[in-house]
Amino acid sequence: MHIANPIYDVVFKYMLEDSKVAKLFLSAIIGEDILELEFSAQERTVEVPPSVKERAPLTVCRFDFSAKIKTAAGFKTVVIELQKAKYLSDLMRFRRYLGLHYQNPNNSYFDNQQEKARQIYCIYFLDYGMDLPACPVLKVNYKVWDAYTGDEFPASGEFVSGLHHRSWIVQIHLLKEHRRNDLEKILSIFDQSNLTDSTKHILDVDEESFPDEYRQIIRRLRKAMENQQKRREMELEDDIIKEIQDKERLIEEKTKTIIEMGKTIVGKDQTIAELEKVIAELNLKFKP
C-alpha cells in the first residue's frame, strides 16, 4: 500500500489530528492505555524564501497532548510532549520547550483543593545519528535509590513524578533494521528504505504486516497521500528545507574562507616579523 511519508511535518501532523489514530499511536509508544486524548499543535510559521514560487507559509509543529491514562488504581492525567527533529541544533530547543512545560500553570490539576503537578512524558523522533545506543526505540525512566546502601525503591509518588519526566526516543534511521514487536512494526511507517521515488513523498508498505488494531494508522496515511493539498505542502516543505540547507552550506563555506584568510594574514604577519628581525640583526652586525 502506498502512503504519504510521515517524516514530513505536514503529514505527521495530519496523522495525529485524527484522535483515534493518535491514541493508538501514542499508546503503543508509551506502553499504556490512553482513554482520552486532547490534542494541541504548537505551531510556528516560517516565511517562504523569495526563490520559492508558491507564496505560502510553512507550518512546523511541536505536539502537545493532555492524556487520561488507565492505571491499576483508576486513571491518571499526564502531559505528552512530542517533537520531531531534523537537525542537531534542535537539542537546545527541546530543553527550552521542556522548561516551558514545567512553568505552565495549565499543566497542573486540583485534588482536594490542592494544586498538583501533572506528570510529563516526552517523545522524541530523531532523523539523524547521535551519541545514543544503536536501538530504534529507547526508553528513559527515572530511578530512586538509597545513596548509601544502593537499595532501589519504586519511582512513585507526587514529588518524584512532579519533578522528573519519562522519555521515549525514536531513532528513525535505525527503524529499517528491526521488526521485533508491534511497536517496531508500527514505527516502520517511518522506514525511509520504503521510498517509492526520488521525491521522497511516498512510501510503499505492506498493510498485512501491521497488527489489525493499528491498521487505522496506515489508512490515515493513505488518505494523506490522496490529499492533493498535503502533496503540495510536502513539496513546499522540500523547498524550505533545501533553501535552509543551501544557506547553511553558504555560511559554512564563507566561514572556512574567513578562517583560511585569517591563517594567511597571520602567516604573512609572522613572515614580516621574521624579516624585520633579520634586518635588525643585519643592521647591528654591519653598524659602522
Q: What is the pLDDT of residues 154-177, one digit of tens each?
A: 877 778 877 788 999 999 888 886
pLDDT band at 247 (very low <50, low <70, confident <90, very high): low
The pLDDT tens digits of the residues spanning 69-100 come to 998 888 888 999 998 876 655 666 677 767 77
Coil vs helix vs strand at 130: coil
The pLDDT tens digits of the residues spanning 4-63 come to 999 988 899 899 999 999 999 999 999 999 999 988 755 544 444 555 444 444 344 678
Q: Taking the domains of the chain in order of start, what are their residue ranges?
A: 2-248
| Of residues 151 and 159, more confidently modeled | 151
Complete DSSP assignment for 6-44: TTSHHHHHHHHTSHHHHHHHHHHHHTS-EEEEEEEEEEE
Distance CA 287, CA 275 (A): 18
Q: What pLDDT is recorded for position 47?
A: 47
Q: What pLDDT is recorded for position 200?
A: 87
pTM of the model: 0.73
Residue (of 223, 219, 224) closest to 234 by Cα position: 224
